[in-house]
Amino acid sequence: MRRLLASGLALAVAVLAVTTFARTPAAETAEGVLEACGPGKQKIYARDLPAAVVNPERCPVAGREIEDGGVGSVVPPRGESVHAEVLTTTGAEELEIGRREDGTIELGSVGEDAGVAGDFAKAVGPGECSDPEFTDGERRVPEDSALLYEINKASTPPELSTRDAVGAIRRAGARVVNTESNCRMGDRVPAGLDYGGKTNQKANVDGFSCKNNDENSVVAFGDLPSGILAVTCNWGIVGPGYDETVASDIKVNKGDVQWTTSPGSRSCRGMWDLEGVMTHERGHTFGLGHVSETGHGNLTMSTNINGACQMAERTLGRGDVLGLGNKYR
Ligand SMILES: [Zn+2]
């Protein structure tokens, strides 16, 4: 099962890397329901839907899952939204599903954000302090209520000490809240992120798909398809402007990926920097979207982590800080 999922993901990433997304013509069943949403289909493929906004009568989605090339989510209840991201060793995929009060489904980032094949370790683009690019994910953590999260310490993989893992996870969150960069800019984000200690809960993630919002925010290591570094799910309330994120889970691959908190050490071989990956994921928690790896590879929010045994993603770049400043004023 794991191998199947992984090869599907790799294929999806490879295809998306070279093609602009083309939606297939939408067929209908006799009742006016879109073929892609027909009865008995547990998964609905975003690429088979005719538009970014779908009428609920033509696509009854309750209890079903929408998938888009290696990332997916259970459809949220009315008035709620979810942002899902899958970060792999060679790229990333995002998907947003908003469900308005009238039941209409609104999709975002369908087919975008594929990674870069080839030597992505050589970041392409301006230096981190001269690249102003950012993508506004159109959601944010409410400024009046800090996001409280817990860590499943017992899930820490054997290559890390629990103390080191917790330290890296906490520092990554603080880096985004404090807009820490090497660029002498920025101020802290007015929304907060509070660490609430350990939990026994798992992250609310199944494969590369987000489950329903359970209103807790958890960081946990666990089983993910190979090739995936981490999956982040941000659940929230559909807003008139920004959606408000009320819970954010991050599941980090345990077993298929080797993690380190000392990526600069001479003995590092093929190990990924937990703090750098977590900083990227916390960028999503606070509502940043991706920028392309091909032109903006030095920014934390570019689609690729710049390889193993390096820590470039730990510090935010100019565009990352500007993106936060744009949404939190
Ligand atoms: Zn990402």
Classify residue 119 by burial, with Cβ atoms within 10 Å: 0-12, 13-18, 19+: exposed
Q: Where are the alpha helices (DSSP H) in the chain?
A: 2-18, 162-177, 274-285, 293-296, 318-327
Spacing, Cα 185 to ligand 1 middle (Å): 23
* 158/176 Cα distance (integer angstroms): 27
Helix 274-285 to helix 162-177 angle, to the nearest 10 degrees?
40
* Structure token pair of residue 44: 């609905």
Please give the radius of gyration of the chain, using alpha carbons only, rounded to the nearest integer: 19
Residues with CB under 5 A from ligand 1 (ion): 85, 92
* Residue that the structure tokens 């392309």 belong to: 292
Residue pair 244/237 in contact (Cβ under 8 Å)? The answer is yes
| pTM attached to this predicted model | 0.89
Spacing, Cα 37 to ligand 1 middle (Å): 28
Spacing, Cα 57 to ligand 1 middle (Å): 32
Residue 220 neighbours by CB under 8 Å, 6+ apart: 151, 152, 155, 199, 201, 202, 203, 249, 250, 251, 252
* 299/287 Cα distance (integer angstroms): 15
Query: What is the full per-residue pLDDT of the chain (329 aa) written as tens digits?
Result: 333 333 344 444 443 333 344 555 667 665 678 889 888 888 999 988 877 788 888 888 878 999 998 999 999 999 999 999 999 999 999 999 999 999 889 998 887 656 555 555 567 889 999 999 999 999 999 998 899 999 999 999 999 999 999 999 999 999 999 999 999 887 788 889 999 999 999 999 999 999 999 999 999 999 999 999 999 999 999 998 899 999 999 999 999 999 999 999 999 999 999 999 999 999 999 999 999 988 999 999 999 999 999 999 999 999 999 999 999 97
